[in-house]
Amino acid sequence: MNDVTENTAVEPLPLTGERTVPGIAEENYWFRRHEVVYARLLDRCTGKIVLEAGSGEGYGANMIADVAAHVIGLDYDASAVAHVRARYPRVEMIQGNLAALPLDDTSVDVVVNFQVIEHLWDQAQFLRECLRVLRPGGELLISTPNRITFSPGRDTPLNPFHTRELDAAELTELLAEAGFRVETMTGVQHGPALTALDTKHGGSFIDAQIERALAGQPWPQELTADVAGVTADDFVLVPDDIDTSLDLVAIAVKP
């Protein structure tokens, strides 16, 4: 395996709201909330050929490269593809459409798709493509915001970059219809430290951040410090109370 993990001299990708990137204090909560899923499921990639479909900034694919035999990153955005190639040389980065994966049938052991499916117009087609490129017994590791808590009481997503958000039952149904067997369904929740920050910031640490972001003004120093101090270990993945979870995390298997 290549000893070079990343080229930190590469300019960071701009923060557009469509993806999260590391190294921005005000974005740290969302970055860590994404990072925890990589950290908890990393062992499923050990020694495997892994496709990250929708790899974004590439930090997750680079984490996977610590344990995988080979990592392929795929993204539709040309700037993201160029960024990953420059910053994360262990990742074989290709540009392509998630609705028509540019890989051969049964060519990978694991497909990783974290915080991406909610951006896709044809989610069912994407899942069928994942099934096609996976070897028998291969796994799809997938996470997505829980519609019930992310856009509560709405028919359309709050996030303008999302096309369709899912609850646990809807995600399970989509996976089954595509031909997968859902092995586990867990949810990302706040651990004790973040629960304490919920209380400190008027009941919702998330709402406190969104309020300040929408205000278009500098963040209060205390809020910035609290956000910057969040780590992946401040989140937990649990199977209980799935409908109250922040994000859904599924492991689905190709028969």
79 has a pLDDT exceeding 50: yes
Which domains can be identified in the chain, with CATH numbers? 25-189+239-254 (3.40.50.150)
Q: What is the dihedral of CA 242, 18, 50, 105, to 10 degrees?
A: 100
Q: Name 132's Cβ contacts closer than 8 Å, sequence gap at least 6.
A: 101, 105, 106
Instruction: Report the pLDDT averaged over residues 221-229.
Output: 95
Sign of the dihedral defined by the CA atoms of residues 78, 80, 84, 87, in that order: positive
For 24-60, what is each residue's pLDDT tens digit? 888 899 999 999 999 999 999 999 999 999 999 999 9
User: What pLDDT does 4 receive?
Assistant: 47
For 86-113, what is each residue's pLDDT tens digit? 999 999 999 999 999 999 999 999 999 9
In whole angstroms, give the CA distance from residue 85 to residue 104: 22
Higher confidence at residue 147 or residue 234?
A: 234
User: What pLDDT does 17 receive?
Assistant: 55
168 has a pLDDT exceeding 90: yes
Q: What is the mean pLDDT of the chain?
A: 91
- Which of 48-62, 151-165, 178-192 is predicted with the least confidence, judged by mean pLDDT? 151-165
- Which of 9-18, 151-160, 192-201 is predicted with the least confidence, judged by mean pLDDT? 9-18
pLDDT band at residue 14 using 50, 70 and 90 as cut-offs: low
Instruction: Report the pLDDT averaged over residues 191-216.
Output: 93
| C-beta separation of 189 from 246 below 8 A | yes
Of the candidates 56, 108, 111, the residue with the CA atom closest to the CA atom of residue 84? 56
13 has a pLDDT exceeding 70: no
Burial (CB < 10 A; 0-12, 13-18, 19+), residue 186, is: buried
Indicate the residue type of 26: E
